Amino acid sequence: MHNEEHLNLVLITEYFGIICECDIQLTEPNANKKEINATKKRIKNDIKKFLPAIKKALRNPLYVDKAELFYYMALCYEILENKSKVLKCYKEASKRDLKYIINLASFKRQNNDKDGALKDLKSALENTSDAHLVESINSAIKDVEESIEFDKDIKRWDKLTRFFWLDLLLPFIPVIFYGFLFILSILLLIGIPIVLIYFAIKSF
């Protein structure tokens, strides 16, 4: 691959970082959305120009690291917000180099396929003996499992909340309402004569 194409790969990483930063900035209350979106648009246009060079390199038998190219294509498609192609490219990258399974799992997790991410990571763990990769995969598995457990806790809490309101509290709402009316009527019955007596005494 020529130096210019290597530079493009470096730029893709830089652009991906800028896009992520733009997305964070867009959530801020005082963000200049017009300027930020203009930056994103410019980057997307540049990325579209990089893709043909990467695809050309994939067809080049002299370029050995095809996994790296698929990884950078996945980053490009993430910037372009083409999720189906991102998924496809990460899968192709991880088939050729198992280290990219971390990226595939991260993408699946971000897109609500945590079970799929966990399955991929555990499968990868059985197919590698690389100590550094095993450590990274185990760390990723732990993160996904904690995220899944957190989701379960949220569901349990929602179920408990619905049970409290619908099954426990709801039947007592009429009782509470009529009890309130009863207390209010008692207060009025006692309060009105007291007020009348007060003004009567004051008038003398």
Per-residue pLDDT of the chain (204 residues; tens, 9 = 90+): 444 445 467 788 888 899 889 888 888 888 899 999 999 999 999 898 888 889 888 998 888 899 999 999 999 999 999 999 999 999 999 999 999 999 999 999 999 999 999 999 999 999 999 999 999 999 999 999 999 999 888 888 777 676 655 566 666 667 677 777 778 788 777 777 776 676 667 665
Q: How many domains does the chain have?
A: 1
pLDDT recorded at residue 7: 45
Is the residue at 82 inside a domain? yes
Q: Which domain holds residue 79?
A: 3-96
CATH number at residue 29: 1.20.1050
Is the residue at 180 inside a domain? no
Q: What is the pTM of this model?
A: 0.72
User: Do the Cβ atoms of 47 and 15 come closer than 8 Å?
Assistant: yes
